[in-house]
């Protein structure tokens, strides 16, 4: 089989680096280029030293022709790049996730530059939108918090009796590679705090894809990798934990990257992997759903690779079956 010529646009950060790591081990991918404005001219392993010995690629500024482009750019920049790309596109930013341009402007604080192109993007969580992704030229991979929350709530979209509360926790890598006041080690290492009350940009993304109204509150934790969400869902009828687990089993039959259990989950069990661990509990008319993902993989580059596989008719697990690391 001819390998798919792939270019990663914006491969200098954490998620871009994860995309490189995953695609270098993908049996069907020929990674022909990595780009980065500030990194142009530098070897890949100068910027991503964990990849020393895996590739001789050098960062370039210009974007070459390719069969597919994986974009890992700061929010707002993909809108400037996508219109001039001729191949398929998997965007890992939030630029093309929201179909409602008014909500995009409200939550991203800027009007969308490409509203017509926005309509052509499939939302990228294969477990709930595989058919649309398969036919799409453009795909917007789901965000980190959003992916955990959506996969927690989607099976309950017909059972939810009202607004769900989603409590989210994230590690520092979710803030990106550039240091800031709140990612500085002395501040972050032993700290735990909430932010973006009522107005986090993943709120409309969660509601759009899950079909459940939510109150979403994120928190920063003294972790590096990992997103953990706890969703509290009012139900239309009483359920037991066993009954709730069966609802989830029917919603995700045979899904390679969804692991289900009763009770809670743990981010340590998914680090470095594309798995989402979902744990469920129910009492009376209340359901609790725990979700653990690696924010850089199932919440980032791994989700993008999974979408790429669907778009090209490849085995969905291609390049993604590395087991989680312990400890």
The catalytic site residues sit at 144
Order of strands across the sheet that contains 276-283: 193-194, 214-220, 164-170, 227-234, 286-293, 276-283, 258-262
> Dihedral sign, CA of 28, 32, 35, 39?
positive
Assign residue 204 a region: left if phi > 0, alpha if psi is -120 to 50, beta otherwise?
Answer: alpha
Residue 183 CA to residue 193 CA, distance in Å, equals 12
Alpha helices in 76-201 (DSSP H): 78-81, 101-108, 115-118, 126-135, 144-153, 185-188
Distances (CA, A) of 241 to 10, 238, 247, 281, 307: 43, 10, 10, 5, 31
Residue 138 CA to residue 95 CA, distance in Å, equals 12
Residue 276 CA to residue 217 CA, distance in Å, equals 20
What kind and span of H or E run contains 248?
A: helix 241-251
Peptide bond into 327 cis (omega under 30): yes
């Amino acid at each position: 089989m001819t390998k798919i010529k792939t270019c990663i646009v914006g491969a200098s950060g954490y998620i871009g680096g994860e995309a490189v790591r995953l695609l270098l081990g993908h049996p069907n991918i020929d990674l022909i280029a990595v780009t980065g404005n500030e990194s142009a001219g530098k070897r890949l392993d100068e910027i991503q030293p964990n990849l020393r010995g895996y590739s001789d690629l050098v960062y370039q500024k210009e974007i070459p022709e390719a069969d597919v482009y994986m974009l890992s750019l700061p929010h707002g920049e993909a809108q400037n790049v996508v219109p001039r790309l001729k191949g398929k596109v998997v965007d890992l930013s939030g630029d093309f996730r929201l179909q409602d341009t008014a909500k995009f402007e409200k939550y991203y604080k800027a009007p969308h530059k490409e509203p017509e192109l926005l309509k052509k993007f499939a939302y990228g969580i294969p477990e709930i939108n595989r058919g649309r992704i398969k036919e799409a030229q453009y795909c917007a991979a789901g965000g980190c918090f959003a992916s955990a929350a959506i996969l927690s709530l989607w099976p309950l979209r017909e059972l939810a009796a009202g607004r769900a509360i989603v409590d989210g926790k994230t590690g520092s890598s979710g803030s990106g590679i550039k240091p800031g006041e709140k990612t500085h080690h002395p501040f972050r290492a032993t700290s735990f705090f909430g932010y973006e009350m009522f107005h986090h940009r993943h709120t409309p993304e969660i509601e759009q894809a899950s079909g459940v109204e939510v109150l979403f509150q994120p928190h920063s934790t003294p972790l590096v990798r990992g997103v953990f969400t706890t969703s509290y869902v009012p139900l239309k009828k009483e359920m037991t934990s066993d009954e709730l687990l069966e609802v989830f089993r029917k919603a995700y039959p045979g899904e390679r990257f969804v692991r289900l259990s009763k009770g809670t989950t743990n981010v340590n069990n998914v680090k470095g992997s594309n798995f989402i661990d979902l744990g469920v509990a129910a009492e009376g008319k209340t359901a609790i759903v725990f979700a653990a993902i690696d924010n850089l993989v199932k919440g980032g580059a791994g989700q993008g690779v999974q979408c790429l596989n669907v778009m090209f008719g490849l085995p969905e697990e291609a390049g993604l079956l590395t087991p989680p690391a312990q400890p």
